[in-house]
């Protein structure tokens, strides 16, 4: 693959000035929120995936796989609702992750309208189940007890002991094969609040990507002004790719945190393989990719791999050099660092580079402002008349080199109806136009129409 891009094939299975974002998708009705909670490894993420009809949440036999709150959309009997998957709730653990996961669970409970409390019939009632039940009673919200892993008549009998939790009637389900989930959802939908009548637009998606421990989650938390994602000094803290709606200072879009992408040779475990796959998919489904670098480590090979992965998928790109407050600076440090990055990413050098600090919030809103501008560049449409009036004189003044005495004449050009900027130039002998001249035309398009941060494709076709 060009530029040394490593691919991870899937295994079989600021300013207050408002910047308008063009909306491309249909309008959806605003929905109620249902949270799935419980202790670790009872099958919450499996149930979440079944309800949203996609494998968004990572599922593994290891407890503690889910860490951050994970959002999705579901519907049942014509009612649409938002669904929150949470990490396993644990009391009294010294594990730094467990403490942070508990905080995320409590935030999800506070946010939810209805709660599904998942327990494991094969383990019976445990002390941690009692702790979660007490937490839910204090929350005083509609709660449905789902006894999971009930896939036989014998286990139906075993489920009776869960009356001891004091939450009333329970629902026996198997989140793997779906049995019993229909009855559970019938009951959940009945308790959902009425639709507010407010509409919610499906928004552009900006993903924050980079190597492990570059500061991606810290950057998003700083933007949101809350601890939306768990942050530690341990590489690999974030596992799932998680969306958050950002609506501040006139900007509105979905902001996606992703797991750090390591070199394929260093990915040893299935769990990490799937976290990397989620991050690669996040890039594929994004409109703009915000590549976060660790300034103390510089611009390394894996940063370059991620950059070209985004470019190959024709995404808008903004490079954020994080932890800039930790770098010793001289007069030309910024210029030298920026020049080094642009040298590495040649020939696609028309990319904004912002030096930030997520910890001190230095230039983080400038980063968002720039990402919005890149999105607008990506969705920009140039009128055919304006394109021809600008480009044809340039081509006439600097035509393609002749080939064996034959001259290429370009008569017309137009922007193609594609999601990213692509242009067709119609000529008598398009086969004689070489790559250097294509890059010349691309550079002239960038000079005249501002496609900063966006890959541009140029085609020469037979007129």
Largest pairwise CA distance in the chain: 91
Give the span between the Cα atoms of 311 and 289, in whole angstroms. 9
Is 443 annotated in a binding site? The answer is no
Is 214 annotated in a binding site? The answer is yes
Give the span between the Cα atoms of 280 and 419, in whole angstroms. 19
Is 43 annotated in a binding site? The answer is yes
Is 87 annotated in a binding site? The answer is yes
Is 453 annotated in a binding site? The answer is no
Is 437 annotated in a binding site? The answer is no
Is 428 annotated in a binding site? The answer is no
Residue in 300, 215, 303, 298 with CA at minimum distance from that of residue 258: 215
Is 110 annotated in a binding site? The answer is no
Is 196 annotated in a binding site? The answer is no
Is 343 annotated in a binding site? The answer is no
Is 212 annotated in a binding site? The answer is yes
3-state secondary structure of 50: helix
Is 213 annotated in a binding site? The answer is yes
Give the span between the Cα atoms of 65 and 59, in whole angstroms. 7
Is 216 annotated in a binding site? The answer is yes
Give the span between the Cα atoms of 195 and 295, in whole angstroms. 47
Is 324 annotated in a binding site? The answer is yes
Is 40 annotated in a binding site? The answer is yes
DSSP conformation letters of 134-195: HHHHHHTS-EEEEEE---SHHHHHHGGGGGGGSS--EEE--TTT-TTHHHHHHHHHHHSPPP
Is 377 annotated in a binding site? The answer is no
Is 18 annotated in a binding site? The answer is no
Is 323 annotated in a binding site? The answer is yes
Kindly tell me the number of DSSP H helices and DSSP E strands found in the chain: 12, 17
Q: Is the preceding omega at residue 362 within 30 degrees of 0, hence cis? A: no
Is 39 annotated in a binding site? The answer is yes
Is 210 annotated in a binding site? The answer is yes
Supply the angle between the helices 181-191 and 44-52 in degrees, to the nearest 10.
Answer: 80
Is 217 annotated in a binding site? The answer is yes
Is 322 annotated in a binding site? The answer is yes
Residue in 173, 184, 93 with CA at minimum distance from that of residue 142: 184
Is 151 annotated in a binding site? The answer is yes
Is 55 annotated in a binding site? The answer is no
Give the span between the Cα atoms of 161 and 153, in whole angstroms. 15
Note whether 171 and 116 are within 8 A (CB).
Answer: no
Q: Annotate 248-279 with b (16+ C-beta within 10 A) or e (fewer).
A: ebebbbbbbbbbbbbeeeebeeebbbbbbbbb
Q: What angle do CA 81, 86, 87 make, to 5 degrees?
A: 170
Residue in 69, 71, 75 with CA at minimum distance from that of residue 29: 75
Note whether 321 and 354 are within 8 A (CB).
Answer: yes
Is 331 annotated in a binding site? The answer is no
Q: Summarize the annotated binding site as residue ranges.
A: 38-45, 85-89, 148-151, 210-217, 257-261, 322-325
Q: Summarize the annotated binding site for GTP as residue ranges.
A: 38-45, 85-89, 148-151, 210-217, 257-261, 322-325
């Amino acid at each position: 693959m060009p530029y040394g891009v490593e691919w991870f094939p899937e295994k079989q299975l600021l300013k207050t000035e408002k910047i308008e974002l063009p909306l491309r998708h249909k309008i959806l009705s605003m929905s109620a929120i249902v949270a799935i909670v419980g202790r670790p490894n009872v099958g919450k993420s499996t149930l979440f995936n079944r309800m949203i009809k996609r494998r968004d949440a990572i599922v593994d036999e290891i407890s503690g796989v889910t860490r951050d709150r994970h959002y999705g959309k579901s519907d049942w009997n014509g009612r649409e609702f938002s669904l929150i998957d949470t990490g396993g709730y644990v009391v009294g653990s010294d594990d730094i992750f467990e403490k942070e996961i508990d905080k995320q669970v409590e935030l999800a409970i506070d946010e939810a309208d209805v709660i599904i409390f998942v327990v494991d019939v094969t383990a019976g009632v445990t002390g941690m189940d009692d702790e979660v039940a007490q937490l839910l009673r204090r929350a005083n919200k509609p709660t449905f007890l789902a006894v999971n892993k009930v896939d036989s008549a014998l286990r139906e009998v075993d489920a009776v002991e869960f009356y001891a939790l004091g939450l009333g009637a329970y629902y026996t389900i198997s989140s793997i094969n779906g049995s019993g989930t229909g009855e559970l959802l019938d009951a959940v939908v009945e308790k959902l609040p009425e639709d507010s009548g407010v509409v919610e637009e499906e928004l552009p998606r900006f993903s924050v990507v980079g190597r492990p421990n570059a500061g991606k989650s810290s950057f998003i938390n700083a933007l949101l002004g809350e601890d939306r994602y768990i942050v530690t000094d341990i590489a690999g803290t974030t596992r799932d790719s998680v969306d958050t709606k950002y609506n501040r200072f006139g900007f509105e879009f979905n902001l996606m945190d992703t797991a750090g992408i390591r070199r394929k040779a260093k990915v040893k475990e299935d769990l990490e393989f799937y976290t990397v796959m989620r991050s690669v998919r996040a890039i594929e489904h994004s409109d703009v990719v915000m590549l976060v670098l660790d300034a103390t480590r510089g611009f390394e090979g894996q940063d370059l791999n991620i950059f070209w992965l985004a470019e190959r998928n024709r995404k808008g790109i903004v490079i954020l050099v994080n932890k800039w407050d930790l770098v010793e600076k001289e007069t030309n440090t910024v210029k030298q660092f920026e020049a080094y990055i642009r040298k590495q990413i040649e020939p696609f050098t028309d990319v904004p580079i912002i030096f930030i600090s997520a910890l001190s919030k230095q230039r983080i809103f400038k980063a968002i402002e720039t990402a919005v501008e890149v999105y607008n560049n990506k969705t920009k449409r140039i009128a055919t008349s304006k394109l021809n009036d600008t480009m044809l004189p340039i081509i006439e003044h600097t035509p393609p080199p002749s080939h064996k005495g034959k001259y290429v004449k370009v008569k017309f050009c137009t922007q193609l109806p594609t999601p990213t900027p692509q242009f067709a130039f119609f000529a008598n002998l398009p086969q004689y136009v070489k790559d250097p001249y294509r890059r010349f035309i691309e550079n002239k398009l960038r000079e005249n129409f501002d496609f900063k941060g966006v890959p541009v494709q140029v085609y020469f076709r037979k007129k």
